[in-house]
Amino acid sequence: NSYSRPGEGYGNDAEPEDDFEIIDWNALNKASDEASRERWAKCPPLTKVFYRELEEVANMSPAEVAAFRAQSNNIVVDRTFKNENGENGRPIPNPVQTFAQAFGDYPDLMEELRKQGFTKPSPIQSQGWPVLLQGEDMIGIAQTGTGKTLAFLLPAFIHIEGQSTPRSERGGPNVLVLAPTRELALQIEKEVSKYQFRDIKAVCLYGGGDRRAQMNVVRSGVEIIIATPGRLNDLVQEGVVNVSSITYLVLDEADRMLDMGFEPQIRKVLLDIRPDRQTVMTSATWPDGVRRLAQSYMHDPIQVYVGTLDLAAVHTVTQHIECLDEEDKYNRIMQFVKQMGPKDKVIIFCGKKTRADDLSSEFVLNDIGCQSIHGNREQADREQALEDIKKGAVRILIATDVASRGLDIEDITHVVNYDFPRNIEEYVHRVGRTGRAGRTGTSLSFVTRSDWAVAAELIKILEEANQEVPDEIRDMAARFAAKKERNDRDRRGGGGGGGGRFGGGNNRRW
């Protein structure tokens, strides 16, 4: 037995140490809980329920609810974490089908929606608004461009307005929205600015922006803070921002924030926010890290999952796939650029920042006007790049995935995947940058041998959207599946199989 009791394992002359103090963890935890209760007991009262379900919504039969959800991008809704008995707890509200069913008690908000030209709620809004207005915590699993920002913003407005404590006595803002990138944070701020509701003011805090100007806006008094985690933590530590007044918290694109390494900053700021707050989390995917975060900091959340990857966005895009060798990409992109029409606007996605810089330099050397946006560029340069592509000063934007989150440029005609994305979710997100706002678009994706792991999922996306699937992609998927099967068999102790990068003895290029 390799385990030793205290005093053993240190030689024959070792004496047991009996003068150490035994820590009473139960007492420590109890004291910590008591201190936390005392701290948060001083907070103003919190109101979270603002929903008045109309009879026409309440009286929907289970079959009607199921049919509506199925027709609305296959909404799936459930309590994320079952209780000890495996039960779901409180009932989940039925979806709304009109703005009036959600906001009938707020005619000024209805008027703002009318001004924006919306005709009906998007799927995430249909199910998300009743959940949030009922005061529930919510996890929205949906891609960018599905209306998720408005899904959490409008209930936030009502939450701010509905608190019994006057705004001047709340000690700070009520709503905090954390976003992974400056671009997404600015995009959310832009959405807030579209709605003139009860004089609610917002500030956007992000690294690279004018720090003093941001601090001055916070001190002047705001109800909503939209921030990237790094800049927010800086200003909290300096005492500029007080998050103990936050009662409605949004973690937007949580999967992306964790991918970018922001988990420590997120957990740090959550410690200073009152635990009885309402929490909203959005994510394009549902990895273990996001699940753990939800389990740690949310109260019995309802998960609203909108659509599978056959998103409506890719149905407005003609998708072209070209199989080629890595060294042939440059000549092909130059050929594509020379064939651009006078009104075309293009986003070219690269897998790495260095690749984006290299391609941008090559374009400049060839007198091709372009801009680039990636994480290493200064904030002012990134904003200038967006301004240039929006206004048409340039018609080519070279971007990386992280920097592209939150990009909202309506008249993009083409998307080029110079480097194929690492997963199919990112492919759908990139392709969805064109074909927006009722327009159609075109995508061109370069696929090399190293991309074979995503070939099978790509085929599903293309077939579902009635797009042409090149034979090379089908071959690639079949070879990857065969290789995977061989590897699984080898792990189980089975026989070998053919050689070659794509398996078998087939020496064809693809």
3-state secondary structure of 422: coil
Q: Is the per-residue pLDDT at 33 higher than 80?
A: no
For residues 402-432, one letter each, b for 16 or more C-beta atoms within 10 angstroms of the residue's C-beta and e for the rest, the string is bbbbbbbeeebbbbbbbbbbeeebbbbbbbb
Average pLDDT over residues 437-460: 90
The helix, strand and coil proportions of the chain, stated in percent and rounded to the nearest 5, come to: 45, 10, 45
* Mean pLDDT over the full length of the chain: 86
Question: In the structure, what pLDDT confidence band is assigned to residue 74 with cuts at 50, 70 and 90?
Answer: confident
In this structure, what is the dihedral angle of CA atoms 82, 84, 85, 86, given to the nearest 10 degrees? Answer: 20
105-148: pLDDT as tens digits: 999 999 999 888 888 999 999 999 999 999 999 999 887 677 89
Tell me if 263 sits within 8 A of 257, measured CB to CB: yes
Instruction: Return the higher-pLDDT residue of 63 and 11.
Output: 63
- pLDDT surpassing 50 at residue 497: no
> Which pLDDT belongs to residue 376?
81
- Condensed to tens digits (0 to 9), the pLDDT of residues 465-483 reads 889 999 999 999 999 999 8
pLDDT tens digits for range 372-408? 998 788 878 888 999 999 999 999 999 987 656 667 7
Under 8 Å between Cβ of 424 and 458: yes
Span of 62-71, 301-310, 409-418 with lowest mean pLDDT:
301-310
pLDDT in tens, 164-194: 999 989 989 999 999 999 999 999 999 999 9
* pLDDT score, position 30: 73
> What pLDDT sits at residue 374?
87
Interstrand relation of 302-305 and 76-79 (parallel, antiparallel or unpaired) = antiparallel
The arithmetic mean of pLDDT across residues 343-371, rounded, is 94
Give the percent of the chain with pLDDT over 70.
Answer: 86
Mean pLDDT of 247-270: 93
The burial of 383, by beta-carbon neighbours within 10 Å (0-12 exposed, 13-18 middle, 19 or more buried), is given as middle
pLDDT at 11: 46
0.85 surpassed by pTM: no
Q: Over range 311-328, report the average pLDDT.
A: 84
Give the span between the Cα atoms of 206 and 249, in whole angstroms.
Answer: 17
* Minimum mean pLDDT range among 366-375, 380-389, 434-443: 434-443
* pLDDT beyond 80 at 28: no
What is the reported pLDDT for 248? 98
pLDDT for the residue 308: 52
**Residue-level pLDDT at 102:** 97
Strands ordered across the beta sheet of 202-205: 76-79, 302-305, 138-141, 278-283, 248-251, 175-178, 224-227, 202-205
Asked if pLDDT for residue 9 goes beyond 60, the answer is no
Q: Which domains does the chain have, with CATH numbers?
A: 55-305 (3.40.50.300), 312-469 (3.40.50.300), 482-510 (no CATH)
With a CB cutoff of 8 Å and minimum separation 6, the contacts of 26 are none
Q: CA neighbours within 13 Å on the CB side: how many for 453?
A: 7
pLDDT > 90: what percent of the chain?
Answer: 60
pLDDT higher than threshold 60 for residue 4: no
